[in-house]
Structure 1
Amino acid sequence: MLTRALIVVLAILNLGVASWWLLRSEPAPAAAAKPATGVAELRWLPGGTDAAAVAQTAAAAPTAALVEREAAPTAAVAAAEAPAPAAAPLAPPADAPKPAEAAPAVAAAKPTEPVVEKPAPEKPAAPPRCVALGPFADRAAATAAQGRAGSLLAPARLREQPAASGSARYRVLLPAAASREDAQATVKRIVAAGLSDYYIISQGEESNAIALGQYRNREGAERRIAAVQAAGFQPRLVASGDAGQWWLEGQLAAGSEPAQAQQRSGAAQQRSLECTRLR
């Protein structure tokens, strides 16, 4: 069985080789090699011509074709090595920016350093100024002047300047009654309230008025008035003799002048005052 298979394979191989020999084409003749550029071509000259003489003739007088072939590469190399003609400068377009105009653009492209603004030096604050306005006849007049001055004096205070001679007197009085009987009735009420040191004025402009004390300084008179008011009465303070004077003292507001404060308060005079005295 194996033998038969080998025989069949060999037969198939023989048929394939025979078909190849029958169907193959004739080989093409080899192309003649072309001589290299710049090399003289060797030719076979029949008739016993001396090869050495032919070679000398070819070297001494190259054919025209060889000269043309050698001149062509030389011209190409010379053309390649020749410097190219300088091109004419192109005129700039009409809308091209001038160098002076382009400079700001270049400057703008550069990063700018942040500008640090130095704070303006603060002006030293002006020292405070204080004044005394007056004189006023009594406390009520000085209080009214303080109200008129308003914000021009802040802070402000009232100060009494006692008389130099020491002859000032301050009396505490109840208003005059309509009759003697009414004055006596008021005295009974005063006694019932626990107050003492009183008497009824019997003559003069203050007739039927009730005097509740006379004092040499205002502080004592004001304490007496406070006690009488606590008992339910409304006394008044009357200054007599060489009474003291009242002054309005305070610190001037920023930007105001002493003359302005004096005019607004209605004071007759104004004096410079040390601000430490107001503390």
Structure 2
Amino acid sequence: MFLRLLFVLLIAFNIAVGAWLLLGQDDSHGRSVTDPGVPMLHLLSEQTAPTAPFASRPPASASIPAPTSSAAVALETRCLAVGPFDTPQDLRNARTALAGPGVRMRSRQEQTTETRAWWVYLPAPGTRAQALALARRLGAAQVGDYFVMSSGDQSNAISLGLFKDPANARKRRDEVTAAGFSAQIQERSEQVPEYWLDLVVADGARFDWRGRVRMAGIGSHSTTCF
């Protein structure tokens, strides 16, 4: 009787274990051990390293614009000086004519040496009396239009004329020389002001300053930018 009961219990136990193995393992039948919509938890040791494609993907540098260099900006402008103008009013007129968008200007004044005339003369002798005697000899030789200088650094020299045209000065010298006197020519110059207009314009612009400033004797050259 006891052996029969033990045999029945073993059979029941085996049936129970078989049912648990068959129905109690969710993973073996593809069922999730979590509720629907809830992600499954994993141990840190079970997680895999991130895939390499994202780490090895090269940066998209083509869309980043290259910075503009200062040298390229500097090439966009050119600078020139226009002049010289004889008077401040001429300078103001030119400034008005050249004003416009993209044009930067500044005015300046400089001093220059300019030949004003050519002087024909006889060098001063040693004394005033000698200068007067030389003048009487000129009159006797029919050389007119002269006078003896009485002051200045050319005192006692004999002036034979002041000429704007150098050709006329040479003609007068040759006439007096032909009469037997050693006439000379001296260039007379002085410091005079001249006026300039400096411009900064766009290099690619069709800037025609000559079409706006119609004055004789005005030119241009490259200058330092400001």
Structure-2-length-normalised TM-score: 0.35
- Larger-gyration structure (1/2): 1
Structure of greater relative contact order (alpha carbons < 8 Å, 6+ residues apart)? 2
Bigger strand fraction: 2
Structure-1-length-normalised TM-score: 0.30
Bigger helix fraction: 1
